Structure formats: structure tokens, C-alpha cells
């Protein structure tokens, strides 16, 4: 079913080569810039969740990726793109990268002392809605935030 809008949607995309771990900061800064007219809470939450999803796209997947501690150069190139959609009462951020043999992406239980594994749990807790779709060729993980009433009016 196609979506209809009473307004022109604001959609923009950033393409990243997937070469350096520092691209997480680039994506976070990009989302903050695109959402500069939104509330501080919406902007910071979107930036945080984008960081989590871009980190997952660069580091996790069928084979765990590693980065050089000195340069941040990734062992495996994982190109991706980040799309921000401002659609009336919602802000949607989509991160699309390499596909996966895994049928489903979901938060996993973590132990208190583990230093990683909380990214998707944060996305699930802080977003109004989130999801994933894809196959072995590409995978998109997205989240949506409700815009502040003052901004949506």
C-alpha cells in the first residue's frame, strides 16, 4: 500500500564507503545536522541510535569485522548508507548495508559485565518503532521517533 502525505516529505541519504570505524561519527554528525531544527531530545536520541546501527553494520554480520587500533581501518570493507526521513509526525532513520545469512535481527540477552551487545536493545527501548528487512545481498535496519508536538504542528 503506497503512503500518501499531505506535505512534501524531507528525505536525504548519506553514502559511506565502510572503510573506517570513524564513519560511525560521520553518520552521527550527519543525522544531527539533518535534524538541527528538531528538539534536542529528538536529535540526540536519533544520533545515538544511528551510532548503534552504523556500528552494527560495520562491525557485526556474518563475519565479525575488526579495526586497526591505530588507524581505525576496517579489515573488511562494508559500504552502507544512512537515510533520514522527516515525515510529518515521525522521524525515520534507515541504515542499509551488507546482507546476512541470518533470517532475523533481534536484540540478544547480555550479561551485565559484557562490554557490547546492547545496541539493538537501546534501539528497541528508545524508538517508537523499529524493524529490519533484507536478505543475503542487503540488510536495512531502521527506527522511527515521534516528533515533538511543537515541531510537527
Predicted pLDDT of residue 1: 44
Is a pLDDT exceeding 60 seen at residue 111?
A: no
Q: Taking residues 83-110, report their average pLDDT.
A: 79
Instruction: Tell me the pLDDT tens digit for each residue of 126-142.
Output: 999 999 988 888 889 99
For the chain, the structural domain boundaries read 10-152
What is the mean predicted confidence (pLDDT) over 52-56? 94
CATH assignment, 10-152: 3.30.565.10
pLDDT in tens, 4-44: 555 566 999 999 999 999 999 999 999 999 999 999 999 99
What is the residue-wise DSSP string for the chain? -----SS--EEEEEEE-S-BTTHHHHHHHHHHHHTTTS-HHHHHHHHHHHHHHHHHHHH-SSS---B-TTT-BBSS---EEEEEEEETTEEEEEEEEE--S-S--------TT-SS--HHHHHHHHSSEEEEEE-SSEEEEEEEEEPPHHHH-
The model's pTM: 0.84
Q: pLDDT tier at 150 (50, 70, 90 boundaries)?
A: very low
Amino acid at each position: 500500500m503506497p503512503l500518501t502525505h499531505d506535505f512534501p516529505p524531507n528525505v536525504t541519504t548519506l553514502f559511506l564507503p565502510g572503510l573506517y570505524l570513524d564513519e560511525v561519527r560521520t553518520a552521527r554528525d550527519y543525522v544531527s545536522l539533518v535534524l538541527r531544527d528538531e528538539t534536542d531530545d529528538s536529535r540526540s536520541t536519533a544520533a545515538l541510535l544511528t551510532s548503534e546501527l552504523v556500528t552494527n553494520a560495520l562491525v557485526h554480520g556474518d563475519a565479525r569485522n575488526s579495526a586497526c587500533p591505530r588507524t581505525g581501518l576496517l579489515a573488511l570493507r562494508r559500504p552502507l548508507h544512512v537515510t533520514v526521513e522527516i515525515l510529518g509526525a515521525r522521524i525515520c532513520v534507515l541504515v542499509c548495508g551488507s546482507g546476512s545469512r541470518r533470517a532475523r535481527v533481534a536484540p540478544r540477552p547480555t550479561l551485565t559485565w559484557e562490554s557490547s551487545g546492547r545496541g539493538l536493545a537501546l534501539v528497541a527501548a528508545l524508538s517508537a518503532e523499529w524493524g529490519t528487512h533484507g536478505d543475503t545481498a542487503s540488510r536495512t535496519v531502521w527506527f522511527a521517533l515521534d516528533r515533538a508536538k511543537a515541531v510537527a504542528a
